[in-house]
Amino acid sequence: MTTKKHFVLCVENTGYEASLITRKVYEVIPDQQAEQDDFIRVIDESGEDYLYHTSHFVFIELPVEIERVLEAA
């Protein structure tokens, strides 16, 4: 069984200009504890995964074809 991946669009990077790029799509890494506190985990521009408040992002649904391309990258 494959878990559906979730993606977000960065809409705010104030205070994280070097780590997040506005209008860039990031894949969400599941973290139930973080989600309880309104945070999500993404791999940012440093190449490491970090927690960011959900207010920096908008959750988006992508067409299956685009998800496949992102997963292969």
Q: Which domain holds residue 12?
A: 6-72
Tens-digit pLDDT profile for residues 10-45? 999 999 999 999 999 999 999 999 999 999 999 999
* pLDDT of 1 strictly over 60: no
Is residue 16 assigned to a domain? Answer: yes
Is residue 1 assigned to a domain? Answer: no
Q: Where are the beta strands (DSSP E) in 1-73?
A: 6-10, 25-29, 39-43, 49-53, 57-60
Is residue 11 assigned to a domain? Answer: yes
State the total domains in the chain: 1
* pLDDT of 2 strictly over 60: no
CA 8, 55, 46, 24 dihedral sign is positive
């927690």: which residue's tokens?
51
What per-residue confidence (pLDDT) applies to 40? Answer: 97
Tens-digit pLDDT profile for residues 3-13? 678 899 999 99
In this structure, are residues 45 and 2 in contact, taking their beta carbons and an 8 Å threshold? Answer: no
CATH number for the domain spanning 67: value is: 2.30.30
